[in-house]
Amino acid sequence: MALKATIYKAELEVSDLDRHHYETYALTVAKHPSETAERMMIRLMAFALFADEGLAFTRGLSTDSEPELWKMSPQGDIDLWVELGQPDEKRIRKACGRAGEVVIVGYGDHKAEPWWQKNREALCRCDNLTVLYLPLPEGTDFEAMARRTMTIQATIDDGDLWFTAGDTTLQVPPAVWKQAS
């Protein structure tokens, strides 16, 4: 019998001083059985960085044809496609053809840099692609941060993300490895 996703409820309070976007989102997050608490919390960080009323979680890990997050236009076009981690370069090129803007949110100190060096040349040809890297504080206990019902505050100021869940506050200054042109 297949394991089912664990459902988390998050109230995400976003204060994005850079974009002048202030909103509270009631989110339902399905954590895939193979997904770590770290990855789930990074999905919430990515949501905070690109928060918009049209932004939505997709089926993510359970389907190859969808990203982690996307924003659809009223006409059904994909305005924003957000991937996490170190996706396959062919998948990203395909996404760049389907979506108006594509963002990769990389993380993982020992995996992200080699992945970027390997794929940099091919991905730099994608004009509508932005690649970010989230340098997460070492030793962060994401299991303790992730609760079945949680309130999260995310503040973005001068590009830095301040992310508070429970008793833990992280300062995450996203590094821009490639900016869409």
3-state secondary structure 63-121: CCCCCCEEEECCCCCEEEEEEECCCCHHHHHHHHHHEEEEEEEECCHHHHHHHHHHHHH
161-167 mean pLDDT: 95
Q: Residue 81 and residue 118: Cα distance in Å, rounded? A: 22
Q: Residue 70 and residue 137: Cα distance in Å, rounded? A: 27
Q: Where are the domains of the chain?
A: 33-149+172-178
- Tokens at 147, concatenated: 């609760």
Domain 33-149+172-178 class, CATH top level:
alpha beta
pLDDT in tens, 9-47: 999 999 999 999 999 999 999 998 889 999 999 999 999
CB neighbours of 41 closer than 8 A, spacing ≥ 6? 142, 145, 146, 163, 165
Higher pLDDT, 101 or 137: 101
Q: What is the pTM of this model?
A: 0.94
Q: Residue 150 and residue 93: Cα distance in Å, rounded? A: 35
Burial of 140: CB neighbours in 10 Å, binned 0-12, 13-18, 19+: middle
pLDDT of residue 103 exceeding 80:
yes
Res 1: pLDDT:
55
- Answer yes or no: are the C-beta atoms of 151 and 164 closer than 8 Å: no
Q: Which helix (H) or strand (E) holds 7?
A: strand 6-16
The share of the chain scoring above pLDDT 70, in percent, equals 96
